[in-house]
Structure 1
Amino acid sequence: MKTERGLELLERVRAVCAPLPETTESIDGFGHTVFKVRGKTYVMMGDGSDREDAVSLSFKSDKEQQRLLLQQEGKYVKTPYIGQHGWVSIDPKGEPDWDELPDLLREAYLKAAPKTAAKQALEMFGKQR
């Protein structure tokens, strides 16, 4: 992440994802920051240029949730290349909804996590409420 917006977004996403059981953060071969659980990606972030609107944040979803999120104009878009699998991205022209986004990232984690890690995460979520 190179831009100020990208770095700020990364810190906020890291605050949500890093505490989740067995989460790892790395840079993939395309230069994206990825968050994985046991090797399965559930969040991808990119910052392809020095333009603030080039920052991307994509997360694992399912087709039903994707359909509902895409109805929220100006908030979400279908992720290029992997959107057919349910992935959703924040609209790069809009501002992330930080009231909603942490829950969506946690749901993305649960979709990728094996049962034991998901159970640990759900117990964690219960203690946070």
Structure 2
Amino acid sequence: MAFESEHVLVSETAFAVRDRIREICAGLPEAEEKIDGFGHTTFRVRDKSFVMMGEGEKGWGGNCNIKSDKETQQVLIQKGPYIRAPYIGQHGWVQVANKEIRDWDEFRELIIEAYLRAAPKKLVQAYHQQ
């Protein structure tokens, strides 16, 4: 997995979440970390985002947005702490405040599912053959 050296995250909470996401993505074929044009830390596969992180300059901990489908989105919103992601929620994305992430096993599964939604079929097959 390739990592960008420059970052726009500022809080310890955001760095800790980013590092855990890096660990999860390390096992995903062709997953990359990049800073997008809006300054968000993104995790992508073949230039398709599946996780996006952002944080204000004051370092309040930030949010993590995860690609989902609309059915999963509704379940996650109902149980919390996930909400419909601003601007991209109509496409199924969910958002969680970094400091609200409690169930890392569930979070890991959501990231892998997001990757599998964004990845081309050959990479999905490669992942399942690992």
Q: TM-score range by the shorter chain?
A: 0.7 to 0.9
Look up the match of 1:3: 11
Q: Is the 8 A contact 2:14 2:98 kept in 1?
A: no
Change (3 A) 1:93 1:16: closer
Percent identity between matched residues is 47
Matched residue SS, 1:44: strand
Give me the CA root mean square deviation: 1.4
> 1:39 — aligned with what?
47
SS in 2 for 1:24: strand
Quick check: 1:4–1:52 contact (8 Å CA) kept in 2? no
Structure 1 gaps, min length 5: 125-129
Q: Which residue of 2 aligns with 1:99?
A: 105
Q: Kindly tell me: are residues 5 and 93 of structure 1, through their superposed partners in 2, closer, same or farther at Cα, counting changes over 3 Å?
A: closer
For 1:97 and 1:49, the matched residues in 2 are separated by 27
Q: Which of 65, 69, 81 lines up with 2:87 in the alignment? A: 81
Out of 65, 88, 93, the residue aligned to residue 58 of structure 1 is 65
1:44-93 Cα distance to aligned partner (Å, 9 max, x none)? 0112222324x1101100000101110113x1011000000000111456
Report the 3-state secondary structure (helix = DSSP H, G, I; strand = E; otherwise coil) of the residue aligned with 2:50.
strand
Give the aligned residue type for 1:9: V
AA aligned opposite 1:62: D
Count of residues in Structure 1 that have an aligned counterpart in Structure 2? 122
TM-score normalised according to structure 2 size: 0.87
Q: Deviations over 1:92-112 (max 9, x none)?
A: 562342121000000000000
CA distance in 2 between partners of 1:51 and 1:68 (Å)? 29
For 2:64, the aligned partner's letter is: L
Q: Structure 2: how far apart are the matches of 1:104 and 1:95?
A: 12
